[in-house]
Amino acid sequence: MIKVGCCGFPISQTKYYDIFSLVELNSTFYKYPTPLTAEKWRAKAPENFEFTVKAHQDISHKYRLRIEQSIESIEKIKQICRILNAKIILIQTPASFSIKELEKAGEFFQKINREEFILVWETRGASWESEESLKRLKDVLGELNVTHATDPFKLMPAFTSNLAYFRLHGLGERMYYYQYTNDELRRLYKIVKGFEGLDMGAYVLFNNLSMFEDAKRFAFFLENKYFPPLTGTFGLDSIRSMLSKARYPANRNLLIDKIGWRLIELKEGKQVRLSSLLDAIPAKTYRSLDEIMEEIKARAVL
Q: Is residue 230 part of a domain?
A: no
> pTM for this structure?
0.93
Smallest CA-to-CA distance from 106 within 143, 78, 81 is with: 143
Q: Do residue 211 and residue 243 come from a single domain? A: no
- Of 172, 202, 224, the residue at which a domain comes to its end is 224
Residues 128-165 pLDDT 10s: 999 999 999 999 999 999 999 999 999 999 999 999 99
Give me the domain span that covers residue 247: 235-299
CA atoms within 13 A on the CB side of 92: 20
Partners of residue 273 on adjacent β-strands: 263
C-alpha dihedral sign at 154, 198, 21, 271: positive
For 190, residues 6+ apart whose C-beta sits below 8 A from its C-beta are none
Distance CA 148, CA 157 (A): 5
Q: What amino acid is encoded at 82 in this protein?
A: R
Mean pLDDT of 109-113: 95
Domain boundary among 195, 224, 253: 224
Residue from 290, 268, 288, 272 nearest 280 by CA? 272
Confidence of residue 231 (pLDDT cuts 50, 70, 90): confident
Residue 229 lies in a domain: no
pLDDT score at 86: 97
Examine the pLDDT at 301 and tell me if it is beyond 70: no
Over residues 41-53, mean pLDDT: 96
Q: Which residues contact 56 (CB under 8 A, 6 or more apart)?
A: 28, 29, 30, 31, 32, 73, 76, 77
- Asked if residue 53 has pLDDT above 60, the reply is yes
DSSP 35-86: HHHHHHHHHHS-TT-EEEEEPPHIIIIISTT-HHHHHHHHHHHHHHHHHHT-
14 and 70 together in one domain = yes
The tens digit of pLDDT for each residue in 249-296 reads 999 999 999 999 999 998 888 899 999 999 999 999 999 999 999 999
At 300, is the pLDDT very low, low, confident or very high (cuts 50, 70, 90)?
Answer: low
> Do 159 and 279 fall within a single domain?
no
Residues 127, 263, single domain; the answer is: no
What is the total count of domains within the chain?
2
**Is residue 190 in a domain?**
yes
